[in-house]
Copies of this chain bind each other. A is one copy, B any other.
Amino acid sequence: MPDPRFFSRSGPFALRTLAERLGARIVLGASSDPAAIDRLILDVAPLDRAGPDEITFLDNPKYKAALAATKAGAAIVRPSHADAASPATVLLLCEDPYRAYALCARLFYPMIAATTGISPASHIHPDAAIAPGAQIAPGAVIERGARIGRDVRVDANAVIGAHVVIGEGCWIGACASLSHCLIGDRVMIYPGARIGQDGFGFAMSAAGHLRVPQLGRVIIEDDVEVGANAAIDRGSGPDTVIGRGAMIDNLVQIGHNVIIGPGCVIVAQVGLSGSVVLGRGVVLAGQVGVAGHLRIGDGARIAAQSGVMRDVGAGEEVFGTPAQPKRQYFQQIAMLARWMKARHGQGDDERGK
């Protein structure tokens, strides 16, 4: 059970209610009581630790044995895995059990916990507009002209700059700072993220580099997440745009004028240079770097630590620095390993250790 000091649980929920909310079909096991459909479920838990008042799930088939042995009162599974369950377990059948589990866990543990409204120790400019239901923690600063939407939570010591607009149901983590940006609904900005500062734009010269005013904004669409201590610079004239539902992990760097398509997944410590354009659903693994002005097509996947120095087509998978087709990169590595072995002999691997 999650540490109750840190997580306050909602519920309980009847199994029937959960099934409705998840869009799942209930199947009673051969030995389950028909009244089980109205059983109250108290919590979520993993297969091997769930008890009769808890609901669990099976996504990865390699845990089928754990499904058979689980003591959970109910389990969310794919129809094709139903026969692996114990007859004592009530099943909630659906095609994407992990997603259904996520929905279920969010019912028990809402993403944005309630605090205590607007703290008198926050600093809210009289010209800022705060919608009903907003929660503003101690030390948070809301500057002149900022507009905070309904049910937004701004955590301690966060800073919302002048005229920033934040939609509904957003969470702004502790010590984050936002300026020159427009934020959609249900956006989550993690602690320490920096959004809207000047991009890295200056006229270089031996006499001294001269900063060029950066006159664009950052536009963050609905349902985006921006990780802890990530940095997103505002545009230089055009805007920097983060498309709907993009997931951005911790310590990511996004340069000015970057356009990120909807549903992209950008893992920790990635760096995108200025004016990069990502299509829809692009996945960049950890520590990838992309050079300026490149385009990465829809659904492309860039392996960890790759350095992308040319455009990447839709659906392409690339790896390495400079990044090349992933299969080719692995072939090259294998070829080098064979040559090394031919030259230095078999004992090498052992000595190398």
Residue interface bits A209-228, CB-to-B below 8 A is 1, else 0: 11111011100000101011
Residue interface bits A230-247, CB-to-B below 8 A is 1, else 0: 110100010000001101
- When distances are taken between beta carbons in the complex, the residues of chain B under 8 Å from A309 are 304
The main secondary structure of chain A at its interface with chain B is loop
8 Å CB interface, A1-37 against B? 2-3, 5-7
A105 nearest CB across to chain B (Å): 4
A46 nearest CB across to chain B (Å): 6
Q: 13 new A-B pairs (CB below 8 Å) besides A229-B230, A320-B321?
A: A101-B203, A105-B215, A123-B139, A123-B156, A141-B174, A159-B175, A175-B177, A175-B192, A177-B191, A287-B289, A322-B333, A325-B353, A332-B336
18 sampled A-B residue pairs with Cβ under 8 A: A3-B180, A98-B203, A101-B212, A109-B215, A159-B174, A174-B177, A190-B197, A190-B198, A200-B268, A206-B263, A206-B281, A227-B231, A229-B251, A268-B273, A269-B289, A326-B352, A331-B340, A332-B336
Cα–Cα, bound, A119→B176 (Å): 20
Cα–Cα, bound, A327→B348 (Å): 9
Residue from the list B143, B253, B339 in contact with A156, Cβ < 8 A: B143
- When distances are taken between beta carbons in the complex, the residues of chain B under 8 Å from A313 are 353
A161 within 8 A of B: yes
- When distances are taken between beta carbons in the complex, the residues of chain B under 8 Å from A106 are 210-213
Residue from the list B5, B139, B202, B287 in contact with A163, Cβ < 8 A: B5
- When distances are taken between beta carbons in the complex, the residues of chain B under 8 Å from A139 are 123, 139, 141, 157, 159
8 Å CB interface, A258-316 against B? 263, 265, 267-269, 271, 273, 281, 286-287, 289, 291, 304-305, 307, 309, 313, 315-316
Q: This chain: how many copies in the complex?
A: 3
Question: Once the chains bind, are A204 and B265 in contact (CB under 8 Å)?
Answer: yes
8 Å CB interface, A319-353 against B? 320-322, 324-328, 331-333, 335-337, 339-340, 343-344, 348-349, 351-353
A290 nearest CB across to chain B (Å): 9
Question: Once the chains bind, are B155 and A157 in contact (CB under 8 Å)?
Answer: no
- When distances are taken between beta carbons in the complex, the residues of chain B under 8 Å from A249 are 200, 253
A85 within 8 A of B: no
- When distances are taken between beta carbons in the complex, the residues of chain B under 8 Å from A253 are 249-251, 268-269, 286
A71 within 8 A of B: no
Question: Once the chains bind, are B192 and A173 in contact (CB under 8 Å)?
Answer: no
**Shortest Cβ distance from A247 into B: residue:** B209
**Shortest Cβ distance from A192 into B: residue:** B194
